[in-house]
Structure 1
């Protein structure tokens, strides 16, 4: 990543023109003389309400500061507004960011490495506190500063999730399957899906499917890694998803739909809607999806780890939280205090229990809060147990647009406009171009 700050800013002038920036004089008004720390986010619904309650609690415990959460709408809008605010020099102190966004912010010298806060003897983290952070979250928040070529921790995890298998236990039982034994391999998964697909009235039309997929880059990525492949090579400089394993992963979904006839493709959140309506026996979804589905489900259901193939693997997804450079030292310090508080053992355990997002500390897994939660909802533990073999999406600045290209390959394959290998090879050229552009080769 060798992009300069000037190039970064120039590249987003168009974004600035398209996004309305709230005047600084309006948004930076002090709240009763307190230090105001603005936090831009895209957290809505019940999960957003949990976050708001926690922010309120932080503010009550820290009377010197007021963390002002500001909802930006969708994640796409959040990304656009964040980049535009940097150009306008009206950025918030804190914001959610996916890894590919963070890479852009690092290249543009727009955010502060957290190392200077973490290593501060007065208000940083002890060695034990730092070591307690789960390794995968340290790894996927670490970026190379293109100016000094050194690695720094530029963000910490905020709302991270992993995919799980949701299944209808009543349908399992009716099909002669043990509801306590969900499929653990791809072969078992296909076998189960066949038994769960039903034409009850023998009219030639399927009334109940074994599975449905939204055909997302995330769905593809999970199977890709389970097949032994990966999105990019380990240096994140070369495309790797158009490998033999990649073609097998994409073919896996096509075969479920076309060959085995046990699945169909849907879109958006329709997989969840169909699952709660009892139209399909199994779906893959975020561990957080349970929070949106549980009140609508009228049958016995379960949550399990994703089936493996050559290996077990899941791709962890979700945003992190970062501190912006264009703000005062005092505001940066309080922004750090909020991050430290939010990611503490007590609060990350609370966040996980109340939202089903992943905790970010090993100590939280042993906390009484989560242990009690797992006793009440034992299936919730499936997502956490998978962290032992979790992967994450590329952190290259070129990956954000590349995901859309990859979805194009999935579309072409599932619509049978090209073979899996042909579609992936075609898209690989575009993705490599994006990666090269980010590397400034």
Structure 2
């Protein structure tokens, strides 16, 4: 009898615990209005100056406030390269975030992993089609392949020329006439170079391949460093050789730029401190430079050889496959919210990144801003001459090959011909499995 009572009591306790545990577990697992908000994790990188984590965090908080049925948790994941590594690790562990901003050039690698959802599957109405068509074509070249759209442009950029107008005036140059050609850039850089100040700095670590693309794309022939299928590269093309020669001559022959390699993060600091009078850098740094410059700032399209040219750059939104359809729809709602014209305009103003939608430039917010600060239009206008950033299968490996190639040339460890031929051979080996 005593045993039966004990068994009954134990059974009651177990049932109560099961109810409690089940209830708690249900609250954690449920998604949507009935069981709490749908929870989304959002990875994002930053590779420019300024307190951009606060901007992203606030935008996510504002979205969740407007949409209480969806809770977005933004996670800053370091640089683009660090973000790629963390995403790949999460995918291998079968625990990716619901969405992320990653390099637009990560597209082929993500497709090879069967990791992302095609955006076209969310495009249902004429309004959706108009939304997609409103993004600048230059940014869609790294967002579409195989007849489908895979990413939504967000923190996108081109490379622009920044220059110190006060230094121009001091050197006897017209501060309203930045160099428009390669020859003019050499001439201006020579006039600007003096003890304690270089005429020009172009970063050669981190994104050396990106800087090289500027020189390649500005030559006749409309060549790029890769094909649109992402399975061929042209690292030893005549345009690449000519571009590398010009780049090397800036330091070795003309003595207007530091020898050897120059760090990506050091260049804006040197510019703001007056250690260089001109620099090549992403427009994503524009707001940071504008806020911190103690001199009259000038910006311009990149100087041309035969014509103007620049690669696009920056990151796209991606939605990951390994999550529920409900969460995918919630992620899509967040992405559309983040890329509404007014919000895109505000993001551009806060950062310097190009507003990726045409309608953003029709907002009163942007009209007022560009009237006060016309430099904000330089990168947007340069999109007319823009081409796709280097993007291939195994993109991390392939871009590193070109990074190493540029650096061995600038540090005189190899001749240009030797370096580009070695890089071409190495990249072809990496891409061989993707050739049909």
TM over 0.5: yes
Q: State the Cα RMSD in Å.
A: 2.3
Contact 2:284 2:351 in 1 (8 A): yes
Q: 1:212 aligned to 178, 201, 223, which one?
A: 201
State the Cα deviation string for residues 170-198 of structure 1 (Å, max 9, x = none). 11011111101101111111111111112
| Partner residue in 2 for 1:62 | 67
Counterpart-to-counterpart distance in 2, 1:234 and 1:43 = 27
Q: Larger C-alpha radius of gyration, 1 or 2? A: 2
Is 1:400 matched up with 2:396? yes
> SS where residue 42 of structure 2 aligns?
strand
1:7-156 equivalences under 5 Å are 33-43=36-46, 45-118=50-123, 120-121=124-125, 125-144=127-146, 151-156=147-152
Contact 1:239 1:432 in 2 (8 A): yes
State the Cα deviation string for residues 196-243 of structure 1 (Å, max 9, x = none). 112xxxxxxx33221122222211111111124311134433221311
Contact 1:28 1:36 in 2 (8 A): no
1:338-377 equivalences under 5 Å are 338-377=334-373
Counterpart-to-counterpart distance in 1, 2:26 and 2:41 = 13
Q: 2:244 aligned to 246, 250, 260, which one?
A: 250
State the Cα deviation string for residues 85-138 of structure 1 (Å, max 9, x = none). 2222211110122234332222222211111101x23xx844332321211223
Change (3 A) 1:100 1:159: same
State the Cα deviation string for residues 266-325 of structure 1 (Å, max 9, x = none). 213111111111121111111122333334321222111111111211111111111111
State the Cα deviation string for residues 145-183 of structure 1 (Å, max 9, x = none). xxxxxx321111121111111111111011111101101
Q: CA deviation at 1:420?
A: 1.6
Counterpart-to-counterpart distance in 1, 2:27 and 2:409 = 50
Deviates more, 1:213-222 or 1:165-174: 213-222
Change (3 A) 1:28 1:101: farther
Change (3 A) 1:25 1:190: farther
Q: CA deviation at 1:26?
A: 13
Counterpart-to-counterpart distance in 2, 1:359 and 1:285 = 17
Contact 2:107 2:142 in 1 (8 A): no
Q: 2:387 aligned to 391, 395, 398, which one?
A: 391
Deviates more, 1:231-240 or 1:388-397: 231-240
Contact 2:188 2:199 in 1 (8 A): yes
Contact 1:100 1:397 in 2 (8 A): no
Contact 1:230 1:241 in 2 (8 A): no
> SS where residue 388 of structure 1 aligns?
helix
Is 1:260 matched up with 2:260? no
| Partner residue in 2 for 1:202 | none
| Partner residue in 1 for 2:270 | 274
State the Cα deviation string for residues 49-78 of structure 1 (Å, max 9, x = none). 212221111111111111111222332332
> SS where residue 200 of structure 2 aligns?
strand
Q: CA deviation at 1:362?
A: 1.2
Any gaps of 5 or more consecutive residues in structure 1?
A: 1-23, 145-150, 199-205
Contact 1:224 1:241 in 2 (8 A): no
Counterpart-to-counterpart distance in 2, 1:296 and 1:128 = 38
Is 1:378 matched up with 2:370? no
What is the TM-score of this pair, normalised by structure 2? Answer: 0.86
Q: CA deviation at 1:37?
A: 1.2
| Partner residue in 2 for 1:20 | none
| Paired residues, number | 401
1:177-188 equivalences under 5 Å are 177-188=173-184
Contact 2:408 2:414 in 1 (8 A): yes
> SS where residue 307 of structure 2 aligns?
coil
> SS where residue 314 of structure 2 aligns?
strand
> SS where residue 241 of structure 1 aligns?
coil
Counterpart-to-counterpart distance in 1, 2:226 and 2:46 = 29
